[in-house]
Structure 1
């Protein structure tokens, strides 16, 4: 099915077209979301919302860029919004916990129990540290870096998604790498 046929099928609310859309883009969309939200379950939830939005708002797709570019743009925006909402919820929960408003310790403190070897724990810790460092990047650097490193998008594809120039993307990714080195230097001495 060509991109044009796919878009027309989705516009006509054809289930087969929606299934083809999910089949073609699911892995990339989940990967993009994971790069921003840092949790596979949350990434799947956000991806589901993205596909629903694509299906419901396909008439907004102006065909100025490729369908994949439009989908990545939606994925980036939805992932960022999810991350912001989750941060707000966690902040409110911590305030409520501090002041004792209806949330008990069992709900906020999770006991960690694992039979995994130390290597797996170290790997998880490294991933967590990396995601925390990526979260500290300015938003435009974080988007460019995540799309490049987690989704293997070329600089030109990232420029299309972010609606900016190729030199701008090169600069953003370069600055992101420098900032990540600064953030991570203490962990890898």
Structure 2
């Protein structure tokens, strides 16, 4: 999350009447409270929420809840992954076995559940996973560490950057369709776009 937005009073949802009905439905649904998980267990969802929070440096509850729900839905539906390296499991298997490996690794290295580690230790273990050097190697024999990190990171960023609250923080005024852009020169803003306040 941005420490200090340049658009503190901007709310992208004030623009929703300019969007078509389909877009309004999709964006508004991102503000609703999740009522359960289809893929994750509650413990897995909690761990994914913590990891996602560390990856985007944000602890905003409603945004993180949406991120976890979006990842849960993506893994449940398994819409396909475009390209995947040989030997890398499908996303649903990669994430599930990866979360188990993170927990087992934390227990072995730190003598504690990953969720009970302090933030510095959690970050350090994630860093090691991103570099494929997390220990102990025996719990990672079937889980490609770097691919796991990339998958969770990509799923997190995809969901995080689609939440209306984050749009507002970065000054994104939402889809331009159907009104479109008029002022297209570098540095120009249309009247409906967010204006920097500081």
User: TM-score, structure 1 length as denominator?
Assistant: 0.32
Q: Would you tell me which structure has more helix in proportion to its own residues? A: 1
TM-score by length of 2: 0.31
